[in-house]
Structure formats: structure tokens, C-alpha cells
Amino acid sequence: MITKEDPEVQRVLQQCYLSTKVTAKVLFPDLFYGEFSPLHDQILGLIDSGAQKIAIAAPRGIGKTTIARTVVSKSILFRDTRFITYVSNSATVAEMQTENIKRELQSNDIVRRLFGDIKIADSKAAGLDDTFSKLSWVAFGSSLVLPRGAQQQIRGLLWGKHRPQLLIVDDLEKKEELRNQENREKLKEWFFSDLMKCINRYLDDWRMIYIDTLKHEDSLLQLLLESDDWEHLRLSVCDTNYNSLAPSFISTKEVNEEVESHRKKGILDVFYMEFMNMPTGGEDASFKEGNFKYYDETDDEFRKKILPRLESVVIFDPAKTVKMQSAESAIVGVGIDLQGAGIYVRDIVSERLYPDQAYDEIFQMCARLNARVLGVEVTGLHEFVTQPIRNEMLKRRTLFELVELSARKGEGEPGKIARIKQLVPYYRQGYVYHNRSCCGGLEAQLLSFPRSRLWDIMDALAYIIEMMSLGDRYFEPIADSDENQEEDYEELESEYEPILENWRVV
């Protein structure tokens, strides 16, 4: 029979005290029956780091609430905290979760054998006054658990000499309410003026753990993720090419099925928010999911009809930092179909690259797409970018026409925003086609514009407009039904100079 006095049990309990992950597996196996993924490891690692203020944006379905409840249970069982506040989007939800914690502690055989009867007392039996919810309760006579809903009164609460020491904020924001700016501002005001002020500022004995899924680009969670004084995680189930980052939780095949399902329903922005924690602009977005058109490089129609008339170019937008590898550099391959009025986003590389790695990716993409023109954004760098690329061309005995692209300032707004905005009419008119296999990152950035967390891919793509202008490339007129249109074209061609071959107008 398992007893608390057993040396081996004592060793395991010590490990449980040091690790929430071990606590989950040893004490609550019925809740944590699956294999932990790398995402779970990151969440539990941050929780055990000792950081005082933690914000975690976790994907839908990862078990955020179960983890939050386990943190509370661990704190109760090891007598770490005297006053615990569990906060959710409503009092009803918060009360339901704290009741689940109570029920688990009372019915769990492993817990009862190792820790004994936790002797739960309700608020009346514990001698709590009317300032506390009727569904608050005390465990072991020493740990008060108080449920609270968003914007409920919490500031000034005192139990004996203790103010809240562990604050678990779980699923605080409601998607429907976040659509209203006034609601967003009210919640933020309550969070910072009431919830954050309920702790004892004279004692360093408190922690706050905020865990939720990102539901709006202007949400409280987004604000905390961008704050320097909060330790934070922003987790996604997959990378921008929809490869799973947590195979034990969801496979790449399942991720792609989810993507396709959301895409068919016209709610791809929901997938980005709930599974990748990427905020999107919703109804006010400049780029709409309905404007995204797709193609596959392996389709017979594309290979036989469109590919032969494509003129492909590669655009390189290097990171503008002292250390290029500390920020994303984007390399985008684009095919231009003048006859069919189409811009095909054929290939994308977006990574933190050292210069030599970037050159390898550039030349490999040029070879893959049979591109003879390379556009490079040179603003602020000029020859520090172009000279090494020209040098690589000579060294590799591969010559491309190198086009220098310059960032231009917008009127009344940053040039990057103005530049990307110029893509909007191209998308709205259906000119842009996305390679289904590589454009996830681009779409996430476009849907989030102009509040995107990352900009590199869409900014690089936006340079295609300048590239086409410099090369004097324009879509051909739409063909009419005249039986003699071929003769008309021949007559028109005889009247004009041959088309420019060079991509730069001198």
C-alpha cells in the first residue's frame, strides 16, 4: 500500500513539488493521460520558472484550463499559497472551474492517500464575511480559493492578513465582446486598475498566470504579449506551411485537414487565431480571405497553360538589423502572367538567416523557378547588400539582372504600410494567386494587416508593383470575341516599338 512515509514516495513528492509536469502525470493521471507535446513542455516550463507575471497564448484544445486547475491544486496540496483567486470570463465559469478543482481533490484516490482528507470548508463554515462569493472555499483550513468573473469586485479583498497571492486568469476574454472597442477598453481598465491592484505591493509573495487563446488583435492578451514586464509565450500548433509543431497533439495531416475545412467555410482567420494565435483584422481587415485565390504547381492546367507564359522574378527583403539573423529575412518568388493578368506567389522563404544562408536560399529559388531577375530592397544598405550578391553571382557563375528596390515614404503613414496597401486592389480584382503549399505565413500577415506581428513576407511581395513598373510590365487587354483579333494584334504590334527587355527604365 502506498504511504506518504515511504522513502520512494517522498522522493516522487519532492519531484512533484519542483515540477508541475510531474505533478500532472503522477497525481492526476486521469486528466493527463496523453503524451505531452513540445507546446505543453513550454507552458509548464514557464509556469515553473518562478516568473511573477506570466502571459500564455495557447492554441485551442491544448488543455489550458486543465493546466490552470492543476497549478491551483498543486499550490493547495503543498500549502504554497494562502489566498488563491481563479478568474474567468464570468463568475459562473470561474465557479464551475473551482468546483471542479474541489471535486478532483476530494475524489482523487492518489491525492487522498498521499495528502489525506483536504477538509474542504465552504465560505460560511470557514467564517468568511459577505465580501466573498458563496462558492469560495477553504482547503486544509489554510488555503482560500475564490472564484471571480471579469469585472467583478476584487480590489481590497483581504482574508485575515492575506491578499491574493496566486491569481489564475483563465479564458478571460469573450470573442463576442471583443468586437466592441468600448468593451475591450473596459476590460483592460478593470484588469490594470482592479485585478492588478488587489495584491500586496509591500510583499513579493504573489504570482499572476494569464492563459488564453488570442481572440482579437486589440485584446488584453495581445497587449500583455507585447509588454516588456510580462514573461510570455505565443504558441502555435503548426508553422506557416502548416507542418505540425506538436505531432503528439495534432498531426500535420490533421492540421491540413483543419486548414482546408476552415478555408472552405471562409473562416481561415478563425484558424489563425485559435490554432496559431495570430490576430486578424476581421471585418475591418484590408485583405479579406475571400480575395485569396489558389493554385497548385503540379496542376496540369497550370503546368501546360500558365507556366510557359510566366515570367518569374525573386524578391529579397533583408532584415534591417545589426545582426541579420536576429530578425526574419523574406525571399519571395513571383510569377507574372501578363497575358492572363495574374501574379502567382510561387515560393516563399521567411527565416532568420545569416547572409551566406540568405544567398544560398536566393540562388536556389532562382534556379527552382527559372527566374532571371532578382529584386533586392536596398534602403539604408545599398552596396552592403548588392555588392555581396554580385560577388556571389560571379563566384557561382550564375548571372541575374539585379534590380535595386527602394522603400518610399508614404504620405501621413509609414512607407511600409503605404507600400503593402498598394496590394489591396490587386487582391480585390482577383489578380493574385497563392501557391497552396507555401503561403500560410503570407496569408496570416495579410489578414492581420496593419496590426501584424510579422511583416517580412507581405512587405517583400509588395515590391512586385515596383518591379513591374521598373520593367514596364503591364497586363494585356482582355481579349474580345472578334474572330479577327489575332490580325488586330499583329497590326497593333507593327505600330509600336518592341517590348523592353531590361527591367529598369533609364
DSSP letters for 378-419 = -TTTTHHHHHHHHHHHHHHT---EEEEE-----SSS-HHHHH
Sheet holding 137-139, edge to edge: 121-122, 137-139, 143-149, 83-88, 166-170, 207-212, 53-57, 231-234
Stretch 127-142: mean pLDDT:
79
The pLDDT value given to residue 406: 84
The pLDDT value given to residue 336: 98
**Domain annotation for the chain: domains and CATH numbers:** 7-234 (3.40.50.300), 300-492 (3.30.420.320)
Compute CA distances 236 → 140, 246, 274, 410, 449, whole Å: 39, 9, 9, 33, 19
* Model confidence at 274: pLDDT above 60: yes
The pLDDT value given to residue 376: 93
The pLDDT value given to residue 118: 84
The pLDDT value given to residue 283: 55
The pLDDT value given to residue 129: 67
Judge if pTM exceeds 0.75.
no
What's the mean per-residue pLDDT of the chain? 88
Tell me the sheet residues that pair with 403: 375
- Tens-place pLDDT, residues 188-197: 999 999 999 9
* Model confidence at 380: pLDDT above 70: no
Comparing 260-264, 312-316, 448-452, which segment has the lowest mean pLDDT?
Answer: 448-452
Q: Hey, what amino acid is at 423?
A: L
Long-range (24+ apart) CB contacts under 8 A made by 272-275 are 272/443, 272/444, 272/447, 272/448, 273/213, 273/214, 273/215, 274/59, 274/60, 274/213, 274/215, 275/59, 275/60, 275/236, 275/237, 275/238
The pLDDT value given to residue 322: 45
Whether 441 and 241 have beta carbons less than 8 Å apart is answered as yes
More confident of the two residues 18 and 161: 18
The pLDDT value given to residue 483: 54
Whether 1 and 55 have beta carbons less than 8 Å apart is answered as no
Tell me the sheet residues that pair with 169: 87, 210
Tell me the sheet residues that pair with 331: 316, 349
Q: In three state form, how does the secondary structure of 280-316 look?
A: CCHHHCCCCHHHCEEECCCCHHHHHHHHHHCEEEEEE
Confidence band, pLDDT 50/70/90 cuts, at residue 506: very low
- Tens-place pLDDT, residues 479-503: 665 555 566 656 656 665 555 567 6
* Model confidence at 225: pLDDT above 50: yes
| Torsion sign, CA atoms 460, 463, 468, 471 | negative
The pLDDT value given to residue 155: 83
More confident of the two residues 179 and 21: 21
Residue 246, classified by CB atoms within 10 Å of its CB into exposed (0-12), middle (13-18) or buried (19+), is buried
Give me 328's grid cell: 526574419
The pLDDT value given to residue 123: 65
Q: DSSP per residue over 109-144, as a string?
A: HHHHHHH-----EETTTTT--TTS-TT-EEETTTEE
Report the percentage of the chain scoring pLDDT > 90. 61
The span from the CA of 29 to the CA of 340, in Å, is 59
* Model confidence at 319: pLDDT above 90: no
* Model confidence at 469: pLDDT above 70: yes
Stretch 439-449: mean pLDDT:
90
